[in-house]
Structure 1
Amino acid sequence: MAINIDCDHPDLLNELNRKNTVSEKITFLHRVVHQHCDFIHRIGVTVYDAKADSLKTFAHSSDGNNPLPYYQCRLREAKSLYRIYLEGKPRLINDLAVLDGGSREHTKRINHHGYRSSYTVPMYQDERLTGFVFFNSRFSDCFQEGSLAYLDMIARLISLLISVELNQVNTLRGALKTAACLSSHKDPETGAHLERMARFSRLIANDIAADFGLNDELVEAIFWFAPMHDVGKITIPDHIIRKPAALTPEEFEVMKTHTTHGRRIINTMMENFNLDDSRFVTMIGNIAEFHHENIDGSGYPKGLKGDDIPIEARIVAVADVFDALTSQRAYKPAWSNEEAFAELRKLATWKLDPKCVAVFMKNKEKIREIQEIFQDEQNQKTPRQALAESSRAISADSFWMLAPQ
């Protein structure tokens, strides 16, 4: 007897198999959810940066404008969310009127956009908080036990989507760090420097995102991949990368190749880890190859000028230069923030993007907070650091001659 194995039942979630952004997948899931819970008018996702105790908006889908674009706050300062984190349980508020008069900016924005109830589910990976999923409605008292069970399932699905995204990023970053270790590359511009400049990059990207069409997801991607800007330096000989003095013209030509080598390394890594179709390939490559281009066209490797330099590279350049100025190096002591800001103003006339510099300097308090959290190890001095302690202050012109870029 013949067995009929045909199945006409459609895969309702097949859209998730496509190469879409997380934001596009959240929008699709919102449509699915609306078929079962038509009172859900918004789904929002935040991701958690545990090292800085920072929550950042990441993706959303709503029936109107995004109430929280480019928003971030400290988890400990968001008392209700912090309680969710401590208890490990979802939070249901069936009438957001109880929060009227709340001082937190995100509470004010949610209320201002007409949302009247909320269900919040924490996301975890290996028992570590990775963020939150928010289900908002314009109606009060609309969440019932049956709908909560369904939304719990959707929240777990979203959590898995975010975990896949984060795992790809962590896999790539881990591979690049491993490559650096195997090459015996021990440039002190790792560790705390990378943590700071990544968060400086996010500060800039957050403030200019609307002007350059960057959504929350792309802002976060710049934060993720900014630390890969100098990966090409693993190909530079140690006698150049560690040289505690000015490079010769010949050595500087070798140093300059770290930009093009960086893009090739990233492309190879992405291919070897089956990530070569990732939508982030171009962004990471641009950061690695073009972060030493200057707005007047005098940079390298291609002499790009102004807006021809990808915005992600312009952002990372400002973050990297500022941290270089305010960090102790073999050829100079650390500059104060005010000295570094004054230098950024000068560099904005020929080297750095003036808009990126301007928005960065509006965040002086946040810059100080990042510096406080991610301080350099003072008790483990490398030979370069020891030499720096005995060196005298140098002029800005000398800095750009001595800095091994």
Structure 2
Amino acid sequence: MNNHYFQTAKPLNQQLQQLMHRMHAHAPKIARVSYAKYNRDRDTLVTYADSEFQLWSELHHEKRLSKLDQLKRSAAMGVPRIIDDLAYLTHCDRLAFLRHKGYRSSAAIPCFQNHRFSGFVFLNAYEPNVFDSKSLLSLAPYIEMLQFAVESHSQVVKTIVEFADRLRTGSTVYCRDSYYHGRRMRAYTKVIAEYVAEHRNLDDEQVEAIAAFAQIHDIGKTQLPESLMYDTKPFGSQELMSARSHIDNGIKIMDEIVSSVGNPSHPSITLLNQIMRFQYEYLDGSGYPYGFRQEEVPLAARIVTVANIFDSMTTHKTYKQACSVTEALLELEKMVQQGKLDALCVDALRYKQEYLKQVIHKYPEPEHWGYEE
């Protein structure tokens, strides 16, 4: 198998910072390097990595490319967009952010993967008139290295998720809800991770990885018998013990998948391990399998735990009706008061109730659990 990515890598923000220092040999006035990925499905540019990664609150940003005329033209023509002096531009909130941070000039270099636009590398300097076509041409090798670093990380996460999805769809217990549950989990987890990012120092790279891995968090259930998956009654003690075995199953499956893609030493693998091992732990120690408490439970697992409980509450089961979004949030609040869940993670959902309803409507569970008409 040809693994087209770095087998060992530092976090992307650190890689960008190091590349910026190397760029100084050709362009010593560069003060910031960042990368925004293009999401083709939503036609949005999404911040992804930044050499100034201490600025947690300013990292997370998303905008439709169709609303950004100059960048849209740059992407279509494949030529950089250069701004000599940001002081004269007031039409964009992102430019206002850059001016507030003291930056005066900017260059946006469009990137392409397999001849398709994939995002922008942004360069900023504190002085005006820093960038021109000649200076950007001298930086081309570094831009290529930066793009490969970004694509490398994305490919690691994408490959693991694709392998897991392929395995899951081949399972006898796979049904439409397995797919829809994964999509809902990704959406809920993204909401929570973006909200807590500023407070808990999560960067865009980590937010994206946590959301991607959340959709395959329950892959261990593919090893459970159909009779257990489609049981119409709440579990007794023996059934509960059997059901909980899916944690060990999931860890084993993911270890095998990671091994099959070359055991890359990437920060995202740490997040994956945290989710798979600790997603059923509660902060008061009443969870399983380890009974961890408080800071022993990693943030990635806390996020997925809240998302999963919310999804369970707001979908129908054969033995219970779905709660409304409001009712589910009230129940989650009770669990916060009991010391079980991270309050910040629950707060994140409260502020996005209309969006949560849209996700539930877009990805509904089947009318009959486990069966397709």
Give the TM-score range, shorter chain. 0.7 to 0.9
Find the counterpart in structure 1 of residue 237 from structure 2. 249
The structure, 1 or 2, with the larger RCO (C-alpha pairs under 8 Å, 6+ apart) is 2
Find the counterpart in structure 2 of residue 23 from structure 1. 13
Question: Does the Cα contact within 8 Å between 1:54 and 1:75 map onto a contact in 2?
Answer: yes
Find the counterpart in structure 2 of residue 384 from structure 1. 369
Find the counterpart in structure 1 of residue 353 from structure 2. 364
Q: Is it true that 1:266 corresponds to 2:251 in the alignment?
A: no
CA distance in 2, matches of 1:240, 1:64: 47
Find the counterpart in structure 2 of residue 8 from structure 1. none
Farther-moved stretch of structure 1 (142-151 vs 253-262): 142-151
Q: Tell me which structure has the larger Cα radius of gyration.
A: 1
Find the counterpart in structure 1 of residue 181 from structure 2. 193
In structure 1, which of residues 353, 357, 361 is the aligned counterpart of residue 342 of structure 2?
Answer: 353
CA distance in 1, matches of 2:298, 2:103: 37
Find the counterpart in structure 2 of residue 55 from structure 1. 45
TM-score by length of 1: 0.81
Find the counterpart in structure 1 of residue 3 from structure 2. none
Which amino acid counterpart does residue 360 of structure 1 have in structure 2? L
Find the counterpart in structure 2 of residue 13 from structure 1. none
1:87 to partner: Cα distance: 4.5
CA distance in 2, matches of 1:247, 1:238: 14
Question: Does the Cα contact within 8 Å between 1:232 and 1:288 map onto a contact in 2?
Answer: no
Residues matched between the structures, number: 366
Going from structure 1 to structure 2, the CA distance change for 1:209 and 1:21 (only over 3 Å counts) comes to same
Q: Is it true that 1:203 corresponds to 2:177 in the alignment?
A: no
CA distance in 2, matches of 1:277, 1:63: 21
Counting only pairs closer than 5 Å after superposition, residues 2-401 of structure 1 correspond to structure 2 as 19-62=9-52, 68-100=58-90, 102-104=91-93, 106-350=94-338, 351-368=340-357, 370=359, 375-376=362-363, 381=366, 383-384=368-369
1:314 to partner: Cα distance: 0.5
Going from structure 1 to structure 2, the CA distance change for 1:17 and 1:290 (only over 3 Å counts) comes to closer
Farther-moved stretch of structure 1 (27-36 vs 73-82): 73-82
Percent identity reads 28
Question: Does the Cα contact within 8 Å between 1:293 and 1:302 map onto a contact in 2?
Answer: yes
Which amino acid counterpart does residue 37 of structure 1 have in structure 2? A
Going from structure 1 to structure 2, the CA distance change for 1:349 and 1:65 (only over 3 Å counts) comes to closer
CA distance in 2, matches of 1:125, 1:297: 46
Going from structure 1 to structure 2, the CA distance change for 1:276 and 1:263 (only over 3 Å counts) comes to farther
1:276 to partner: Cα distance: 4.9
Question: Does the Cα contact within 8 Å between 1:267 and 1:281 map onto a contact in 2?
Answer: no
TM-score by length of 2: 0.87
Question: Does the Cα contact within 8 Å between 1:228 and 1:287 map onto a contact in 2?
Answer: no
Aligned-partner SS, 1:92? strand
1:377 to partner: Cα distance: 5.9
1:362 to partner: Cα distance: 2.3
Going from structure 1 to structure 2, the CA distance change for 1:332 and 1:124 (only over 3 Å counts) comes to farther
Question: Does the Cα contact within 8 Å between 1:89 and 1:121 map onto a contact in 2?
Answer: yes
Going from structure 1 to structure 2, the CA distance change for 1:301 and 1:129 (only over 3 Å counts) comes to farther
CA distance in 1, matches of 2:236, 2:298: 29
Residues 222-267 of structure 1: CA deviation (Å, up to 9, x unaligned) = 1221222111111111111123432332222111111122122212
Which amino acid counterpart does residue 56 of structure 1 have in structure 2? V
1:334 to partner: Cα distance: 3.9
Q: Which runs of 5+ in 2 are unaligned?
A: 1-5
CA distance in 2, matches of 1:66, 1:245: 46
Residues 33-90 of structure 1: CA deviation (Å, up to 9, x unaligned) = 1110112111011223334444332211249957832333444444543444444443
Find the counterpart in structure 2 of residue 9 from structure 1. none
CA distance in 1, matches of 2:54, 2:297: 33
CA distance in 1, matches of 2:210, 2:282: 19
Q: Which runs of 5+ in 1 are unaligned?
A: 1-15, 388-405
Q: What is the aligned-residue RMSD (CA, Å)? A: 2.8
Aligned-partner SS, 1:41? strand
Going from structure 1 to structure 2, the CA distance change for 1:245 and 1:173 (only over 3 Å counts) comes to same
Aligned-partner SS, 2:215? helix
Which amino acid counterpart does residue 223 of structure 1 have in structure 2? A
CA distance in 1, matches of 2:37, 2:360: 21
Residues 92-111 of structure 1: CA deviation (Å, up to 9, x unaligned) = 222223422x353x222111
Aligned-partner SS, 2:36? strand
Which amino acid counterpart does residue 61 of structure 1 have in structure 2? S
1:366 to partner: Cα distance: 4.5
